[in-house]
Structure 1
Amino acid sequence: MPDTTDRRILRHLMADPDAPATELAERAGLTTASLWRRLEKLRAQGVLKAIEQSIDWRALGWEVEVSLRFTLDKTDPRAFDEFIAAARKVPEVTEIQTFLGSVDLRLSVIARDMSHWQRIYRDSILTLPHVSDSDALMLVSTIKNSTEVAL
């Protein structure tokens, strides 16, 4: 389990993931070498998986983001596997999640504009197998988007 110093490092890393190691070490009250050793230990423990760059799809001209919720017809035991395999082939699907409850899966889909969204929906989404019900939520704005948690 991470100790107090590890949690301090993680808090600073969450707050500013692009901070140079020397700056992060200074904020955490460590030498750069000590910081690197602790980061390696956190990676080895599986606490720190990766430092990722995220893409702002809107800055690249992808203006439409839709969250699709699906309930599957589970009379076929292969329903989940076949649905997921088909959804993975849709290039505009950026995320696939499974759930327990009334909704079985959620897909995040991006499109350049409404015309593009209509083509994706008609040609790719409506052809996904084993769907008994679906619901679409179009993103209007993001109020909060954070990966930070209290440590």
Structure 2
Amino acid sequence: MLDDIDRRILRHYQAEPSLTAGELAERCRITASTCVRRLDRMQAAGILRGQEAVIDWAALGYAVEVSLRFTLDKTQPRAFDEFLAAAREVPEVLEIQTFLGRVDVRLSVIARDMGHYQQLYRDRILTLPHIADIEALMHIARVKRDEVLPV
């Protein structure tokens, strides 16, 4: 589906998404119109989903990050749907992942400090529906974070 030129565009675009189409084309050694046409095609195909700002939450005062793993009460027919809908409403939940296996759902949660986390945990997390078990993993360090694909 992707040829060498598409891969070259994606490599440069991932490395520096703030490049203009002209700058990206120059680095890829193609014309700007070819670059724009290929970017449009990859966007239409769902390969490029858009650009986003990456915010350093710690720089904004959110010093605590916790990964919470949930096992849900699966005897309830709508347990997953109701849990996920309620979890989406918690602003401090950055990410929600679902799994097959012993753990059903993982939430990535941020808080300003331990006091804020404790309040968030009591008032918002423990009130989520259909929880059978919770395991909290306190984030210590991010060793690697890379969303760049090897294209």
State the TM-score, normalizing by the size of structure 1. 0.95
Aligned to 1:105: 105
- Name the structure 2 match of 1:145: 145
- CA distance in structure 2 between the partners assigned to 1:47 and 1:144 by the alignment: 24
1:10 is aligned to: 10
| Paired AA for residue 147 in structure 1 | E
Name the SS of the counterpart of 1:22 in structure 2: helix
How far has the Cα of 1:14 moved from its partner?
1.2
Matched, 1:124 2:124: yes
- Tell me the SS of whatever aligns to 1:48: coil
Structure 2: 5+ residue runs without aligned partners? none
Equivalences, count: 151
Q: CA RMSD of the aligned region, Å?
A: 1.1
TM-score normalised by length of structure 2: 0.95
The runs of 4+ residues in structure 1 deviating greater than 6 Å are none
User: What SS class does the counterpart of residue 68 from structure 1 fall into?
Assistant: strand
Q: Report the counterpart of residue 94 of structure 1 in structure 2.
A: 94
Cα-to-partner distance string for 1:51-106 (whole Å, 9 max, x where unaligned): 21111111111111111111111001110011111111211111111111111101
Query: What corresponds to 1:74 in structure 2?
Result: 74
> Secondary structure at 2:84's aligned position in 1?
helix
Q: What residue in structure 2 maps to residue 41 of structure 1?
A: 41
Q: Shift of residue 23 of structure 1?
A: 2.1
In the alignment, the residues of structure 2 paired with residue 51 and residue 57 of structure 1 have an alpha-carbon distance, to the nearest angstrom, of 18
Q: In the aligned structure 2, how far is the partner of 1:57 from the partner of 1:82?
A: 28
Secondary structure in 2 matching 1:75: coil
Give the CA deviation at 1:145.
0.8
Deviation of the 1:115 alpha carbon: 0.7
Paired-residue identity, %: 61
Map 1:20-59 to 2 at 5 A: 20-59=20-59
Unmatched runs of 5 consecutive residues or more in structure 1 = none
Cα offset for 1:122?
0.8
